[in-house]
Amino acid sequence: MAMRRVASTAARAFASPSSLVFTRQLQASPGPKKIVGVFYKANEYAEMNPNFLGCAENALGIREWLESKGHEYIVTPDKDGPDSELEKHIPDLHVLISTPFHPAYVTAERIKKAKNLQLLLTAGIGSDHVDLKAAAAAGLTVAEVTGSNTVSVAEDELMRILILVRNFLPGHHQVINGDWNVAGIAYRAYDLEGKTVGTVGAGRIGRLLLQRLKPFNCNLLYHDRLKMDPELESQIGAKLEEDLDKMLSKCDIVVINTPLTEKTKGMFDKEKIAKLKKGVLIVNNARGAIMDTQAVVDACNSGHIAGYSGDVWYPQPAPKDHPWRYMPNQAMTPHISGTTIDAQLRYAAGTKDMLDRYFKGEDFPAENYIVKDGELAPQYR
């Protein structure tokens, strides 16, 4: 295999590959590679900031570098369906780069067609747009820029919590509409202090959110497969709740910070939502498919969920008739939390670094691997 041996940390994170898995080697041999990037189109906004790298026009800022090395770099926003631009390049591409904000859905069917494909890179965090089991079975490597937008997403979650707790949006809409009705806002505006906030998942983003919440003097809970480092847990003042349902029943605010996997898809269905406090506020910047779409709508309509905010939908981009656009007490946006300019600079640099390592036949940072040698990272198993 052209890649060097995995570092010891990676070896501990991934089990030994199955002998039934064929691994497509990440070649370090000379010769041009075909790299396809799928990014959203920015139109007139593309030229407004030289650091706006995450759009199709600026394409992570790596075109000149790739082409100087003799590689072909195809960039398109057109990603869905059999007649899409992406589909035309599936049979002969070597590397596919996508983002969680405009994901190229890499199905088992596409993987089967992609005879030359070796590497799937996510410019950002979250690779659930890839059929990971199919990628593992095909021996592909899937990697992302771990940590690149942790701060961006955690800050956005804190903002959304405050928007919901303080009933901010109705007041903002009053100003736009020329109205002035303090009572229409104040009757359901609260302080964050003293509220119980629970995060479902306490990885990098969940832990950072809890740290950001500490100064607000909240009661902080978390549910995760791993217990936090005791010293950090003590510093934050957070408590592990091993029973998710028990934690949910205690929370005034629930934040979703778990990856989308087979186990978490549709996790928050009608039955799970019924276990939440009446009047709960939910923030979800993880993945839209973790929620049962209609169950969320019904709970918002009934008032069981008093407010729902997030930037993740399924599918993405969300169709114009997606019911979350029209449910009451929502503070939804397009998928923007992890694509601040600061985050774009980080995930563009991280993507370039992994491409450079790929060309040289070197390992990636161990924490970046999502699929390697036929094995999924622990959080996706």
Choosing from 287, 322, 346, 357, the catalytic residue is: 287
Calculate the CA 302 to chain-centre distance.
29
278 is annotated as contributing to ligand binding: no
- Judge whether 90 is annotated as a binding position: no
Tell whether residue 337 is among the known ligand binding residues.
Answer: yes
The answer to whether the annotation marks 224 as part of a ligand binding site is yes
> 112: annotated binding-site residue?
no
User: Annotation-wise, does 204 bind a ligand?
Assistant: yes
State whether residue 288 is helix, strand or coil. Answer: helix
149 is in an annotated binding site: yes
Tallying the residues shown for the chain, one arrives at: 381
Question: Is 316 known to be catalytic?
Answer: yes
For residue 77, whether the previous peptide bond is cis, meaning omega lies within 30 degrees of 0, is no
Q: Which of 118, 167, 316, 344 is catalytic?
A: 316
Q: Are 161 and 218 in contact (CB under 8 A)?
A: no
Q: Which of 58, 118, 149, 330 is catalytic?
A: 149
In which element (H, E) is residue 253 found? strand 253-256
Q: Is 305 annotated as a binding residue?
A: no
Sign of CA dihedral 31, 366, 128, 308: negative
260 is annotated as contributing to ligand binding:
yes
Report d(CA 290, CA 380) in Å as an integer.
Answer: 14
Q: Could you say which of 71, 335, 346, 357 is catalytic?
A: 335
The answer on whether 335 is annotated among ligand-binding residues is yes
Is 325 a known active-site residue?
A: no
3-state secondary structure of 98: strand
155 assigned binding-site residue? no
Do the beta carbons of residue 40 and residue 56 sit within 8 Å? yes
Active-site annotation holds for 335: yes
Q: Would you state the structure tokens that stand for residue 334, as one six-digit string?
A: 């397009």
Q: Are strands 72-76 and 34-38 parallel, antiparallel or unpaired?
A: parallel
Annotated binding site: 125, 149-150, 204-205, 224, 259-263, 285, 311, 335-338
Q: Which residues participate in the annotated binding site for NAD(+)?
A: 150, 204-205, 224, 259-263, 285, 311, 335-338
Which residue ranges are tagged as binding site for substrate?
125, 149
Annotated active-site positions, please?
149, 287, 316, 335
